[in-house]
Structures are given as C-alpha cells and as structure tokens.
C-alpha cells in the first residue's frame, strides 16, 4: 500500500493513534478520541456510542441527525455504522461478515448510506450503497479496475466517489439515481481525480491532478458534467471537500504564504475566499450546510488544534469549544460535518492529550491532505510534495 504524500494533519494524527493502538494489541491511545453530536440550538453535547468496545469515528450526518462512520473493536478491522435520529441507537451496517474492513462515508435524507468495503478473497475494495435507513447492501462495481469507493450521495441517490479504471488510473465517478450506472467524469489533467460530495442538483466536488501534477479542487455542472478547476489560494494544492444546495464549495488550499487554509466559494463554485485560521496557522474545512455555515479545524493562538464553525456564508470563524457545554476536560479538535438543523459532529480528546497528539502532527505538517480519505485506501498516486 502506498499513500498519497499530501496527507492532512488531522488524519495523520488519527492514523498514528490507530497504528500505536493496533500495533501493540491495545486501543488505549486511539480510544482517547471521543465522538460527539452537538446541538448548537441548545448547546447540548451527546457522546456517540462505542459498539463492541471499539473506537467510533463519525464521518457524516443528515438533517435528522443520523450519523454514519466507522468503528474498530479491539483486535478487529473497521466496521461501518449508522445511528438513529439525533445520534441515538448505533448499529453495525451488517458488512462485517463479508469484509475485513468497511466504512460508511455519507448518508442522504432517506437514510441511504454509501461507503466502501474490502474483502480478502479475492482482494478488492468496492463501493456500496444501502437502501433507506441503512438497510440492505448493494455493490456499485467499478470503472473497470479492482478498486472503487463511494464518498458522497444526494437525495436522489446519485453516488460519487473514486474508482480504478481498466487502464489502472483512478477517476472520479457519478451514478444515476439509487446508485445505478457508474459514469467516469474524467480529470482536470493527468490520470487522477476523486469526488468527495454531490448536491441535489448533481454538482460534484473533489480534487484532481493538474498539468503540473499538483492537486486542485474541482466542481462540475449539473449531473456531473463539465469539470472546472477551482484554483487555489495562491499555493500549489487545493482540495474541495463539500458542497451545499447553492453550489458553495468548502475545502482547504495551500496559500501564497506557504500556509494551508480553509476556503469557501460563492454559489456555483465561483471565487475562493480564505477563511483564515484562529491562530494564524493552518485550517481546513470539512462540511457546509445550506445556510453556508462551515465546519472544520483550525490552529489557535495557543498552538493547539480546535474545531470551528462559521456563521452563514462562511462569515466569522468561531472556536466550537466556546459555543457548547462540554463535559469536563474535553477539547473538540475536529468538526467533521454540519447539517441544516444546527447539529455538528465532532471529535474531541482529553485536554492533556491534545498537545501530545499535536506534536506528532506538527512534526509532519507538510503532509496536508483530503479529509474524506481513509488510511486503508489503496492509492498509487505520485503527486507533488505539498
């Protein structure tokens, strides 16, 4: 397995925690990360369950607060999960009997879930979709290769992600309603593209290689047609991670000052506005709702890594920790997604642990990357140094 060298700090920290925990037969380090569903209207915080004693990693939520992601029990691989409304009643998606690792990446309002699952015999990783409320599993196939992953779904059931082609390239794809008919949507230049999310108009966002072999965020028109380069904040690389109903795109980009900042665009992906960072360092945006509120992670003036949200249309980055009533000693490091009901999913750590993890991240701060990707993803990308 080879990993893209542009690897985001938050994923790096999680990966190191996983390696330490799994490699020594204990999950003591990884289990120190706590997943929360936060209601901004009431300032309440609900800690998500831990199925089979495993560590829970949330990835997305819909407007009724159903959360999807993955968890890993001690001594086992990754398993996809879904919760009931408001993050309650977590259950396994039912993939474990046929796979060695699986992950639920996104969910629509009907509760259809998409993700990927890996099998040992034959060795493959395949995108999947479920029926409503996470019931029933169906593989989506591929663009001709032996790898595919689903990373986003809209309310019509159109799925987007990444798949290996018959030529062994990796390309973004889109399906028809309910995951039917996978179609290659190409690349900006070169042989790589990956789709992260899709809105109900069928506009797709992700990132792709350029002629210079950098990564640039992209947006398409309706139904995945007409890929367009979003550019950067003045640096080499950018990554588009989510899109709302108006076509506002959020993600992260290298800056002209050799930093890495979260961004938001105007409707239909026009322009790219730097959201900055609370501490003047790094930030990245993971999710956006239809009001334009952005969720993500930022460095702070104290040198830590904190979850943030913004007001409508990306205005006013605010430390999420200051807006909610947290359990004693917990610090929210990463805001993963935000819905239209004022709910956010985030991960937190005990405050003393924060700085130990941060030191690991800062030692490799050049490896910035896409938040929607996971450590077990197969990749052969030889991109530029970030």
pLDDT for the residue numbered 369: 36
CA distances to 58, 82, 308, 320, 352 from 324, rounded to whole Å, are 19, 24, 12, 7, 20
* 62 vs 68: CA distance, rounded Å: 9
CA atoms 257, 259, 264, 270: torsion sign? positive
Strand (E) positions, 199-233? 204-209, 215-219, 228-231
Which structural domains are found in the chain, ordered by start?
9-362 (2.120.10.30)
* 225 vs 223: CA distance, rounded Å: 6
pLDDT for the residue numbered 257: 92
CB 335 within 8 A of CB 320: yes
Q: What is the pTM of this model?
A: 0.84
pLDDT for the residue numbered 77: 80
**Calculated CA dihedral for residues 369, 288, 200, 129, nearest 10 degrees:** 50
CA distances to 58, 196, 332, 339, 371 from 336, rounded to whole Å, are 7, 13, 11, 11, 9
Share in percent of the chain as helix, strand, coil (round to 5): 15, 45, 40
Neighbouring CB atoms inside 10 A of 270's CB total 13
- Token duo for residue 329: 């000693």
pLDDT for the residue numbered 118: 85
CB 106 within 8 A of CB 197: yes
Q: pLDDT tens string for the chain (386 positions)? A: 222 323 333 333 333 333 223 333 333 333 357 899 999 999 999 999 888 888 899 999 999 999 999 998 887 788 999 999 999 999 999 765 555 668 999 999 999 999 999 877 667 899 999 999 999 999 999 999 999 999 999 999 999 999 999 999 999 999 999 999 999 999 999 899 999 999 999 999 999 999 999 999 999 999 999 999 999 999 999 999 999 999 999 999 999 998 999 999 999 999 999 999 998 889 999 999 999 999 999 998 777 889 999 999 999 999 999 999 998 889 999 999 999 999 999 999 876 544 444 444 433 333 333 334 433 333 333 333 33
């Amino acid at each position: 397995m080879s990993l893209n060298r542009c690897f985001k700090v938050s994923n790096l920290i999680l990966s190191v925690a996983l390696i330490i925990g799994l490699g020594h037969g204990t999950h003591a380090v990884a289990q120190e990360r706590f997943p929360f569903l936060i209601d901004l209207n009431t300032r309440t915080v609900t800690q998500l369950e831990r199925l089979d004693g495993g560590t829970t990693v949330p990835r997305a939520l819909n407007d009724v607060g159903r959360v999807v992601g993955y968890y890993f029990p001690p001594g086992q691989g990754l398993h996809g999960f879904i919760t009931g409304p408001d993050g309650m009643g977590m259950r396994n998606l039912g993939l474990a009997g046929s796979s060695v690792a699986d992950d639920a990446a996104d969910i629509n309002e009907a509760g259809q879930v998409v993700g990927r699952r890996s099998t040992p015999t034959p060795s493959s990783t395949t995108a999947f979709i479920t029926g409503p409320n996470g019931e029933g599993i169906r593989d989506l196939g591929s663009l001709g290769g032996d790898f595919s992953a689903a990373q986003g779904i809209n309310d019509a059931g159109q799925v987007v992600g990444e798949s290996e082609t018959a030529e062994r390239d990796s390309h973004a794809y889109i399906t028809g309603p309910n995951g039917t008919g996978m179609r290659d949507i190409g690349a900006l230049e070169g042989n790589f593209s990956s789709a992260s999310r899709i809105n109900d108009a069928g506009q797709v966002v992700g990132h792709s290689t350029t002629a210079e072999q950098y990564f640039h965020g992209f947006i398409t028109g309706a139904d995945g047609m007409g890929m367009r380069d979003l550019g950067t904040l003045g640096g080499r690389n950018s990554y588009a991670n989510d899109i709302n109903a108006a076509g506002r795109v959020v993600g992260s980009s290298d800056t002209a000052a050799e930093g890495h900042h979260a961004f938001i665009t105007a409707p239909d992906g026009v322009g790219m506005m730097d959201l900055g960072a609370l501490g003047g360092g790094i930030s990245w945006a993971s999710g956006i709702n239809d009001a334009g509120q952005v969720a993500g992670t930022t460095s702070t003036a104290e040198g830590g890594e904190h979850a943030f949200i913004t007001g409508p249309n990306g205005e006013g980055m605010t430390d999420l920790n200051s807006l909610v009533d947290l359990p004693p000693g917990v610090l929210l490091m990463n805001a993963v997604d935000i819905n239209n009901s004022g709910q956010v999913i985030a991960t937190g750590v005990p405050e003393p642990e924060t700085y130990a993890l941060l030191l690991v991240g800062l030692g490799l701060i050049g490896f910035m990357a896409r938040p929607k990707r996971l450590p077990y993803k197969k990749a052969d990308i030889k991109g530029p140094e970030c």
